Amino acid sequence: MSKMKGPAIFLAQFASGEAPFNTLEGITRWAGELGYKGVQIPSWEAGLIDLTKAAQSKDYCDELKGICADNGVEITELSTHLQGQLVAVHPAYDEQFDGFAPVEVHGNPKARQEWAVQQMLLAAKASRNLGLNAHATFSGALLWHTMYPWPQRPPGLVETGFKELADRWLPILNAFDEEGVDLCYEIHPGEDLHDGVTFERFLAACGDHPRCHILYDPSHFMLQQLDYIQFIDFYHERTKMFHVKDAEFNPNGRSGVYGGYQEWTDRPGRFRSLGDGQVDFSGIFSQFARYGFEGWAVLEWECCLKHPEDGAREGVEFINHHIIRTTDRAFDDFAGATADEDSNRRILGLS
């Protein structure tokens, strides 16, 4: 049997102020009726979860799990993508990222970061109270504005940046370790952890911390033109989460990887609903089956063209089709013959 679980759905792109997407009961009923078996919950959506209460009360967490179970789904992970982003923000992005935090810390980067760190610590405890073993987040970024080396990066800048990033995250990683939860960074443009090399730099700066892991999303690798199949070969031992998201890359004579500041519909690299893009999901699911991936296959819907509810509906069948039930025997076992050491030596001409 396959060790991968699914299909599940990340609720961030669907939560809203309108029913059924404004309450945990409503949105999980909707997801369950579509055929999803799990939901990944964005912890900043107050209509779905009270993160502080979840960190303090196992009874409250049992209530949340009960609501989900009544609708045929379970909670796969919590997400702190927005809060994790605020653990490390370069001043150039202060005003834009203030929107990720409460109004009372706007215009105060120090207070905003302290709030973000506290949110991460709450998320560790909430994950434990919910019986979860992995958590999704972003790393934030101090170096992203220097991603393209012009002007030249001065010697030591990258090392200093990753040391500072690690210093900010190590207390959080330790808190997750205390709760028995893996912290999975989505490898994503705009973050200092945006490819394999940068993950390695961060992991080394964190002393190969046992809770430092990866949320794998091939759509971001497609847009970088990175080999997302080989990425699994390199990092499968550190990959604990999987966002199933599609993308396409169609460069032309006017723009390429960087996109020309165009809107998503006009960029050469675009996010698409599952099956509408170019990502080789057969290859990805095969690689995960090869390495015995035990996490959830979680749809993250983002598409510049298709309606989200259509993408969610289609995603169930797509993921179910791709999850591989692994075999318990070799395909050519029927032709096998019993043997012992003596017969093996005779076949080799040794006796």
When pLDDT is cut at 50, 70 and 90, the band that residue 338 belongs to is: confident
Write down the CATH superfamily of domain 5-347: Divalent-metal-dependent TIM barrel enzymes (3.20.20.150)
Tokens 């029913």 belong to residue: 19
Query: Given this model, what pLDDT does residue 299 score?
Result: 98
Q: What is the mean pLDDT of residues 21-39?
A: 98
Query: Given this model, what pLDDT does residue 330 score?
Result: 76
What is the per-residue pLDDT across 72-101, written as a single tens digit (0 to 9) for each?
999 999 999 999 999 999 999 999 999 999
Q: How far apart are CA 4 and CA 300, in angstroms?
A: 16
Distances (CA, A) of 163 to 192, 201, 338: 12, 9, 58
Mapped to the 3 state alphabet, what secondary structure does the chain carry?
CCCCEEEEEECCCCCCCCCCCCCHHHHHHHHHHHCCCEEEEECCCCCCCCHHHHHHCHHHHHHHHHHHHHCCCEEEEEEEHHHHHCCCECHHHHHHHHHHCCHHHCCCHHHHHHHHHHHHHHHHHHHHHCCCCEEEECCCECCHHHCCCCCCCCCCHHHHHHHHHHHHHHHHHHHHHHHCCEEEEECCCCCCCCCHHHHHHHHHHCCCCCCEEEEECHHHHHHHCCCHHHHHHHHHHHEEEEEECEEEECCCCCCCCCHHHCCHHHCCEEEECCCCCCCCHHHHHHHHHHCCCCCEEEECCCCCCCCHHHHHHHHHHHHHHHCCCCCCCCCCHHHCCCCCHHHHHHHCCCC
Q: What is the mean pLDDT of residues 253-275?
A: 97
pLDDT at 211 over 90: yes
Query: Given this model, what pLDDT does residue 202 score?
Result: 98
Query: Given this model, what pLDDT does residue 283 score?
Result: 98
Tokens 């209509």 belong to residue: 47
Query: Given this model, what pLDDT does residue 2 score?
Result: 66
How many C-beta neighbours within 10 Å does residue 147 have? Answer: 13
When pLDDT is cut at 50, 70 and 90, the band that residue 132 belongs to is: very high
Mapped to the 3 state alphabet, what secondary structure does 131-159 carry?
CCCEEEECCCECCHHHCCCCCCCCCCHHH
For the chain, the domains span 5-347
User: What value does the CA radius of gyration of the chain take, rounded to a whole number of Å?
Assistant: 22
What is the per-residue pLDDT across 105-119, written as a single tens digit (0 to 9) for each?
999 999 999 999 999
103 is written with which tokens? 């109004």
Query: Given this model, what pLDDT does residue 328 score?
Result: 77
pLDDT at 336 over 80: no
What is the per-residue pLDDT across 135-186, written as a single tens digit (0 to 9) for each?
999 999 999 999 999 999 999 999 999 999 999 999 999 999 999 999 999 9
What is the per-residue pLDDT across 54-75, written as a single tens digit (0 to 9) for each?
999 999 999 999 999 999 999 9
pLDDT at 1 over 60: no
Q: What is the mean pLDDT of residues 228-241?
A: 98
